[in-house]
Chains A and B, each alone.
Chain A
């Protein structure tokens, strides 16, 4: 008996391919959901509890604490408490048997301090400095009155400080020249400064006088200056709407604040800014270089062994580990170019380096080098797609080669050039390893951009979201808050890459629609 038809086995291939695709999408969704849930938990308002804990020595300790986990399910609980003597939050892992939950009679407030720590307290009272010994129970009206007072005092202090700076500079110039006429003016300025300083001191005392008193769980009364408190909430007594607005406030602070408690809480603004600035500078550096190189390789270079070898090298550059680029950047850019630049331009500040140390410029250059192959390869791909007939057509109409390239070739290749840009940006936004060597730091004192000439300080060190995540990994063992701040940073990083990618994809779509030759 002969076989009439060949059995069709293609369903096996189809099923294999489909399950691979399904698993991949599940993994992707899982990753995004994981980061989303973990990251958003940084903005959740957790409940506060009144507990009595038995420590390993058998002592009973009373705490107001923030409870992180679901007490119904787990036996081990994570509690966040505040120690007034160290002025730090501490995280306690306590077994179920060692905890006694006490009834909450007085509302437990969470005071969020400027330095990023949280105080859990009851029996809030407020003290104003203008009326001595007037202590009243916490109320929203009294609180906002005092807030206004603090705001005014701080404004006055700020104006005082700004008037003091030029006077101090003036004083310094008088001290250097020693003539008689100057001596009188010196005395005068000195007096002025002294009186201003006295004023300032008075204001500071006034500011410190506005205080908030609270009680700890064991009843110890403690007071701190109110200006140290950022905002305070009654975590257990919030309605859903209030909860959401507190979460929104936390998100805003996360985006706009500096990191606090050595990157364990607070916001990520400097890192966000640093990341965007780095990506921007990198794009400016890499795009012209990449596009011009690809143009040369495709339009001008003769077809010989040298070109073939060059192209192979460029393609393979994309596979070099990022840390190698970091070492290369450190060696060439920082140590060679930076040091030489310092000797030429900043010889008066040596031996303290200006460009001879890791900084934004070198990081951007290293990242540009890292992403250069991607841009070249994808631009060349685009150039290859330009039909020969169009190039000949342009030449036949009297275009020079330059006009042909700018008017026909580059517009048609522009979607691919933008694709190269997208890939470069995505890679630069997420890459951490080389940055650790050439300029990114865990905490930078100043932003690389300010109102001082030349406004963008390319020699400064900067913060980067990826580096912040890297830092957060080491904190994650100690505080839950830190680990969720790390995840929140991850979430932000993913969001940035998605936003940048969709912007570039939209641009590519527009260009493709405009310069479609088929």
Chain B
């Protein structure tokens, strides 16, 4: 992959149709502690957006805001709007379960359910109770093909998912999210538990997925962010410091904090 062949439209030139998620002055308090403070950002569709920052700066919370996973924490207070498809997903009448089928999520540690590979990928579809067996079978096959796992597991679909290696499990998690055909895929440090080869696999996979999905990724690995993401946001202590296309952010950071972070001066 050649870094310099990439043509990324600058954020300011994006039209509203090209925006998948529009976050407006989002603030999040968890356990009486301000985690995100008045964040506004527009995430372009069919691209990869990275969120970088120190541990505990609120990257994951920002990611979790997009499918309302923050609400699993009992003590939470969320203000602001997040617009997707002209709907405010933070509205109290939003159907959260349906939102989460539309916004897939993959976690840092692969978390396959103690079931077979087939049942894992079909879990979300089965919950909706509106697809026939045949439709589910097709969706599972398609998701596994899209996640680049089909050739490796097609003969052992009915074996436990635990038998797969770490990298395969993570791709299975991506397939599990893709089976629901989400418009947005949230990845929370998807490769931090994987070896370099598996990481490469996932990165290539993300490149192919962005043809029809918007990808938002949290990562600690700045090389990775620079390598594969189109846009990068830098968050520091709950505030959005800098957000622009990756090339600009990693070559000419406008803020001193950003520069300090990407050059490794924060340690």
Q: Which residues of A contact B (CB under 8 A)?
A: 302-303, 387, 389-390, 392-400, 403, 407-408, 411-412, 514-518
Contacts and interface: CB of A to CB of B under 8 A. Distances in A.
Interface of B: 67, 69, 72, 74, 97-98, 100-101, 104-105, 107, 109, 111-114, 123-124, 127-128, 160, 162, 173, 176-177, 180
B162 A397 contact: no
Contact of A389 (B98, B111, B114, B162): B111
B74 A397 contact: no
B97 A396 contact: no
A397 B124 contact: yes
A390 B98 contact: no
A31 to B, nearest CB: 39
A302 to B, nearest CB: 7
Given A387-B111, A403-B127, A392 B97 contact: no
A449 B128 CA distance: 45
B107 A397 contact: no
Given A302-B74, A403-B127, A396 B180 contact: no
Contact of A396 (B74, B105, B112): B105
Contacts, number: 67
A397 B100 CA distance: 6
15 contacts: A392-B69, A393-B173, A394-B113, A394-B123, A395-B100, A396-B67, A396-B105, A396-B177, A397-B177, A397-B180, A398-B101, A398-B180, A399-B97, A399-B127, A400-B97
CB-CB nearest 4 A-B residue pairs: A389-B111, A397-B124, A398-B101, A396-B105
Contacts of B114: 390, 411-412, 514-517
B101 to A, nearest CB: 4
Given A395-B100, A398-B100, 8 more contacts: A387-B111, A389-B111, A390-B111, A392-B107, A396-B100, A399-B127, A411-B114, A517-B162
Given A302-B74, A412-B114, A396 B69 contact: yes
A394 B98 CA distance: 13
Interface secondary structure of A, over-half rule: helix
A510 to B, nearest CB: 13
A397 B111 contact: no
Contact of A393 (B97, B113, B128): B113
A411 B123 CA distance: 14
Contact of B127 (A303, A389, A397): A397
A393 B100 contact: no
A270 to B, nearest CB: 44
A407 B105 CA distance: 19
A399 B107 CA distance: 16
Contacts of B109: 389
User: Which among B104, B113, B160 has the greatest number of chain A C-beta atoms within 10 A?
Assistant: B113
User: Which among A393, A411, A515 has the greatest number of chain B C-beta atoms within 10 A?
Assistant: A393
A517 B113 contact: yes
Contacts of B105: 396
A375 B122 CA distance: 33
Contacts of B173: 393
A390 B72 CA distance: 13
A182 B109 CA distance: 88
Nearest to B104: A396
Contacts of B123: 394, 397, 407
B182 to A, nearest CB: 10
